[in-house]
Structure 1
Amino acid sequence: MACVIKSDGVPLSADFGVLTLGTTGRPKPLWRSEKSWSEFFDIQNNIFHINKDTKIFLHGSFSFTGVSNMVIAVLWSGGTVVTTSSMRPNRWSQLIEKYHVDHIYALPTKLRLLVRHCKSKLESINFIIAGSQVLDRQLMEQLEVICPNMEFILYYGASELNYITYCTGKEWLQREGTVGRPFPSVQIAEKNGIIYVTTKYHIEGIPDTYTVNDCGYIDSDGYLMFNGRQGDVINKGGYKIPIPEMELYLQSLQGVSEVAVVTITDDIRGEDFVAYMVLEDTAELSKIIELIHHERPSVEWPKAILEIPMLPLTECSKVDKRKLKEWYNKG
């Protein structure tokens, strides 16, 4: 798909632009100065244990700023990047083993694919770096099985603001829902449930203290507890259902490999939701539905639960909920 970027409106201080799909699904440029990335590379590389000996595997489009940032940061350190255009997880495993890869950079959607299809242990992996999509204890335990030598590092960031917070897998297991504490030189604050970030490593045209309207709070130990994007709530006839919390619950059910909650329009209640699920081979959808009806109040039951073989992903490796909604409306 061709994308024409207008040259007017480019800040004079910008050295280059990076593409992001954001929440609209349409590529848009974010303008940056060179130092807004390069001056942060050493900071993030220290947190992620990246150096000249690093061999990192990643998969995804450069329209995802996280991928482009990571590639350049690894090359900046003198390390090696291993990648492929193939969407076959068994191909990923082959490359990891062939090149003795020691780092994996991926969102949880890709890690779940790797877990489902990996046939052997990946002994060379020392670190897995993952973005802060919905994470669950089952995935963490599965990763520990196939990558027995790995340390898990979860980060929270935004295309407009670079990396914001991070934590280890051990810290996450102790505080499920956290996305960690701030990177060095980054400050976070919460006001009326909205997260504000103070950093100089941001895109051009925004102030040093800025919010992307993500929601959460800071606990007594300084850990950021993440509640999703503002408006990421289903208003079902006045009953509010946070989408991240519902996805986390559904993901935790025995037999559920992947899940996505999609908001739909309802003639009576205004809004409702459907759940798309990828199930493990031995799981039965009828039993999962029965369990949900037993454990949750009826107002929190999905209008429909649909089983599919694989969740569609955007170029940014995030679940393509726009496509899922189209599938439901056409059905």
Structure 2
Amino acid sequence: MRNFYEMIREQEADRLALVEEGKEYTYGELVKLSQEKGDRLRQEKSEKKVIFLREKRILDQLVSFLGCQAAGKIPLLVPEDAKQLPEIGEVPENACMAVMTSGSTGVPKVLYRRYESWADFFPVQNEIFGVTPESRMFAQGSLAFTGNLNLYMAQFSIGAAIVAANVFDPRRWAEWIEEYKTDVVYLIPRKLLFLPQCIKKPVTTVRHILAGSQSMGSEEAEKLRRCFPNAGIVLYYGASELNYITYLRQDQMTQEKNCVGKPFPGVQVSVEDGEIFVTTPYHVEGVLCPFSLKDLGHMDVAGNLYFDGRKDDIVSIRGRKVSLLKIEGALEDISFIGEAIAAAVEKEGEKRVAAWVTLCGSEVSEECEEQIYAHLKQTLANYELPFCCKIVEKLPHTESGKKDRKVLDKM
């Protein structure tokens, strides 16, 4: 059965594959390290089909993932800080990899993929994302996040290279992007928007910027364009269960940050009673299409999809339906607020909405709080106003960079 280890073995051995924070590895070196990992796994003579992999460094994650496949095992990369591991049930016969997702309940579950469910789509996504065999893509973050793992494999499928960062250090990212003349940058919007603060002069080598998992509007895109004047920007909407769903180019972005564009080729999207349904051949095993992620949305007359949040983003407060995403959007429209999370909490025996925000370029003061509420009263109904708005240094995020509202729900 074909897998990603076999795919990488087919590339030219002396071709550059990975640069991890200044250390270079060719395809041949990756194959050798993966073979050695596979040999060690075989020697263990374990009967387990699925191997949990918990590694800190990107190189170790990559080698462990490929080494498992070299040994005929199914790799499952888990976040380094994962507290709970899922139970392994029946494994689909054609699966070559597994991914872990928390799901809407927060209980980890395992999803399985065939090689073809990703590999057959690589030519499509590489063309849209501007990836060629000569590309060098900068990326940061764990391969336990399937968005990262997918793009690594897509690069490797055509012999391109990844410039990878383990650390969260935008100044170093900017240095590596320039030093290795990367032509593609892949980061979630929250991380991308740190780069304009660190780049002093325009970087002309970057031709394509990719972003997913979070919203981005034309204003944020323009900040990036000033740093990367030759770059086109693509924002995508996708999911671990389904792969890529829709995408949006910079010239199609508006002030409406929840617009996520039109479907990728071969993918169909519909909205029924405000719920998004997707039909795609590139899904994980066991999915029946049309499939719903329990995401809410609507479509305009031009066929663009708008992401209106998840079903659990809508909470009932004193008998009224309140959108947490709408409250977060209203807060983030305030010029001195960097990021915001809204969550439903118990207050004096009833459910209320609270908010947490970070500031950018402002110091905490009573004036800040007054300005926040003055703005919210102009954009939200009285029943939508958070009963408190706490200013914090930073907000929690998941491995994929999404805001981790579940952590705040417990505070």
Q: How far apart in 1 are the matches of 2:108 and 2:200?
A: 36
Q: How far apart in 1 are the matches of 2:173 and 2:105?
A: 29
Aligned equivalent of 1:272, options 352, 363, 369: 352
User: What's the C-alpha RMSD, in Å, of the aligned pairs?
Assistant: 2.3
Contact map agreement 2:236 2:246 (CA 8 A) in 1: yes
Q: How far apart in 2 are the matches of 1:39 and 1:46?
A: 13
Please say which structure displays the higher CA radius of gyration: 2
Contact map agreement 1:234 1:272 (CA 8 A) in 2: no
Task: Look up the match of 1:312.
Answer: 396
SS at match of 2:119: helix
Task: Look up the match of 1:297.
Answer: 381
Contact map agreement 1:136 1:251 (CA 8 A) in 2: no
Is 1:41 paired with 2:122?
Answer: yes
Task: Look up the match of 2:155.
Answer: 74
Is 1:194 paired with 2:194?
Answer: no
Q: How far apart in 2 are the matches of 1:186 and 1:293?
A: 40
Is 1:160 paired with 2:244?
Answer: no
Superposition TM-score, scaled by structure 2 size: 0.73
Instruction: Classify 1:25/1:60 alpha carbon distance in 2 versus 1 (closer, same or farther; 3 Å).
Output: farther
Instruction: Classify 1:218/1:4 alpha carbon distance in 2 versus 1 (closer, same or farther; 3 Å).
Output: closer
Greater RCO structure (CA 8 Å; 6+ sep): 1
- Residue 70 of structure 1: how far off its partner (Å): 0.7
Task: Look up the match of 2:312.
Answer: 231
Q: How far apart in 2 are the matches of 1:196 and 1:316?
A: 22
Aligned equivalent of 2:287, options 203, 206, 211: 206
- Residue 36 of structure 1: how far off its partner (Å): 0.4
- Residue 174 of structure 1: how far off its partner (Å): 7.1
Task: Look up the match of 1:179.
Answer: 260
Structure 2: runs of 5 or more not aligned:
1-80
- Residue 27 of structure 1: how far off its partner (Å): 4.6
CA displacement 1:152-195 (0-9 Å, x = unmatched): 11111111000011111221217653211111111111111111
Query: Which residue identity does 1:310 align to in structure 2?
Result: K
Contact map agreement 2:277 2:291 (CA 8 A) in 1: yes
CA displacement 1:89-145 (0-9 Å, x = unmatched): 111111111111121112122223334444443332221111142324442232222
Q: How far apart in 2 are the matches of 1:147 and 1:259?
A: 27
Q: How far apart in 1 are the matches of 2:252 and 2:203?
A: 23
Contact map agreement 1:132 1:179 (CA 8 A) in 2: no
Aligned equivalent of 2:302, options 221, 233, 236: 221
CA displacement 1:40-69 (0-9 Å, x = unmatched): 111111111111121111112112111110
Query: Which residue identity does 1:252 align to in structure 2?
Result: D
Q: How far apart in 1 are the matches of 2:335 and 2:375?
A: 10
Sequence identity (%): 33
SS at match of 2:215: coil
- Residue 282 of structure 1: how far off its partner (Å): 3.4
Query: Which residue identity does 2:112 align to in structure 1?
Result: W
CA displacement 1:177-232 (0-9 Å, x = unmatched): 32111111111111111111111110001113211111112221111121111131
Is 1:323 paired with 2:407?
Answer: yes
Contact map agreement 2:213 2:400 (CA 8 A) in 1: no
Query: Which residue identity does 1:79 align to in structure 2?
Result: A
Superposition TM-score, scaled by structure 1 size: 0.90
CA displacement 1:224-268 (0-9 Å, x = unmatched): 121111131132212222122222221111111222222212346
Aligned equivalent of 2:231, options 140, 145, 150: 150
* Match runs of 1:46-125 below 5 Å: 46-125=127-206
Task: Look up the match of 1:282.
Answer: 362
Task: Look up the match of 2:32.
Answer: none
Instruction: Classify 1:279/1:150 alpha carbon distance in 2 versus 1 (closer, same or farther; 3 Å).
Output: same
SS at match of 1:276: strand
User: Which one is further off, 233-242 or 159-168?
Assistant: 233-242
